[in-house]
């Protein structure tokens, strides 16, 4: 037998005939092939059970997330308070809490649920309750402080200069607690007229008790005859969130139904807009929260899409956007 025939046969296809158990990838250090093993599928009863549970958990998580994102927003609105009249009978002899229709309709125009938040009284003799204002802050997505009676000068530690400007101290205490509970819960707050002033006072600011008396050079900010048809122009502060919401506008026309206004700004409160003629503050923002804003005018009295008055829908949408974000 020749030397060639005595050698062991070699097969050029031996690497193909062997079963592949790994893939070869270039080694970044030396260019040699690197063996990378794929994880083997666990087909044991425990492995199959684990895959089923994992799939069901993912499906449940997706379902919960979908319900959270699609759930209708719930917005609370603070109550106006009618105090009993001395010697009156019937409803006028009772404490009434009520909601002005326009503010509710404005908020509901974006298809959200609106709830008036009543005062709470743990010491009630007839019907005591353990419900607190913080419970509303926990379960609702945002708060609107509606307009109404003057903020009492006592609330910002000043003496009343005239009896008719005494304000509603009881409502102040109720709304201040409500405001702080929503801020603590990280929920957005929008204050309208009185609500704007209350936000400033809540963080240590003060007010002009009467613009005409305290700022004689100011324009007229309230008209008994025109009421919500009394208008004046405002200007947005440079770099403010309102300026960002209305990039095509440097000034706008709004209604003016207030005889009080922000005087000294509270802590971490900044001016968002001011009266272009006399520099009276017309909008503020508390910069320590995602959304705590006060508007001195009444956006609910502005028609959406109006060519004359400022369309405040972008403000409402920004407020509701912040409310959605608090769900996560």
Give the pLDDT band (50/70/90) at residue 12.
Answer: very low
59-117 residue pLDDT tens? 665 544 545 556 999 999 999 999 999 999 999 999 999 999 999 999 999 999 999 99
Alpha helix segments (H runs only) across 71-160? 101-108, 133-139
Stretch 143-157: mean pLDDT: 97
Residue 41, domain member (yes or no): no
Using alpha carbons, select from 114, 83, 109 the residue that is nearest to residue 99. 114
Q: Is the per-residue pLDDT at 10 higher than 80?
A: no
78 φ, ψ (degrees, to nearest 5): -65, 155
Q: Which pLDDT score is estimated for 7?
A: 43
Q: 185: domain range?
A: 66-325
For the domain that residue 202 is a member of, what is the CATH number? 3.40.50.880
Q: Which pLDDT score is estimated for 230?
A: 96
Stretch 290-304: mean pLDDT: 95
Residue 126, domain member (yes or no): yes
Q: Is the per-residue pLDDT at 4 higher than 60?
A: no
Active site residues: 193, 298, 300
- Which helix (H) or strand (E) is 199 found in, with range? helix 194-202
Q: Which pLDDT score is estimated for 6?
A: 42
Instruction: Give every CB contact of residue 31 below 8 A, 6+ residues apart in sequence.
Output: none
What is the C-alpha separation between 267 and 200, in angstroms, rounded?
Answer: 8
Give 154's Cβ-side CA count (13 Å radius).
12
Instruction: Give the residue, 122 or 98, on which the prediction is more confident.
Output: 98
Q: Which pLDDT score is estimated for 64?
A: 46
Stretch 317-326: mean pLDDT: 96
Residue 182, domain member (yes or no): yes
Domain count, the chain: 1
Give the pLDDT band (50/70/90) at residue 326.
Answer: confident
Instruction: Give the residue, 54 or 71, on which the prediction is more confident.
Output: 71
Least confident of 44-48, 135-139, 149-153: 44-48
Residue 216, domain member (yes or no): yes
Q: Which pLDDT score is estimated for 172?
A: 98
Using alpha carbons, select from 130, 144, 262, 126 the residue that is nearest to residue 203. 262
- Which helix (H) or strand (E) is 253 found in, with range? strand 251-255
DSSP 308: S
Q: Which pLDDT score is estimated for 106?
A: 97
17-42 residue pLDDT tens? 444 444 455 555 555 555 555 567 77
């Amino acid at each position: 037998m020749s030397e060639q025939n005595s050698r062991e046969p070699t097969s050029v296809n031996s690497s193909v005939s062997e079963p592949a158990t790994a893939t070869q990838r270039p080694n970044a250090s030396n260019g040699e092939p690197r063996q990378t093993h794929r994880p083997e599928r666990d087909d044991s009863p425990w492995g199959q059970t684990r895959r089923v549970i994992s799939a069901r958990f993912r499906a449940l998580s997706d379902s919960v997330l979908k319900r959270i994102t699609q759930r209708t927003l719930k917005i609370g609105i603070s109550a106006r308070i009618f105090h009993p009249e001395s010697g009156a009978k019937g409803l006028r002899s009772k404490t009434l809490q009520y909601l002005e229709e326009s503010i509710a309709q404005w908020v509901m125009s974006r298809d959200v649920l609106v709830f008036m938040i009543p005062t709470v009284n743990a010491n009630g003799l007839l019907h005591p309750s353990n419900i607190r204002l913080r419970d509303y802050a926990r379960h609702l997505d945002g708060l609107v402080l509606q307009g109404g009676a003057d903020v009492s000068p006592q609330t910002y530690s000043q003496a009343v200069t005239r009896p008719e400007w005494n304000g509603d101290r009881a409502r102040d205490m109720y709304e201040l607690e409500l405001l702080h509970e929503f801020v603590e819960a990280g929920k957005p707050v929008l204050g309208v007229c009185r609500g704007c002033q209350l936000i400033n006072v809540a963080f240590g600011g003060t007010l002009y008790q009467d613009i005409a008396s305290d700022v004689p050079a100011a324009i007229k900010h309230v008209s008994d005859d025109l009421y919500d048809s009394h208008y004046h122009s405002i200007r947005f502060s440079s770099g403010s969130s309102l300026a960002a919401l209305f990039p095509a506008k440097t000034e706008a026309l709004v209604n003016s139904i207030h005889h009080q206004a922000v005087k000294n700004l509270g802590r971490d409160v900044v001016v968002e807009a001011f009266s272009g003629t006399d520099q009276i503050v017309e909008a503020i923002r508390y910069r320590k929260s995602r959304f705590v804003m006060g508007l001195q005018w009444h956006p609910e009295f502005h028609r959406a899409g109006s060519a004359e008055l400022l369309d405040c829908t972008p403000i409402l949408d920004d407020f509701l956007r912040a409310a959605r974000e608090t769900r996560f």
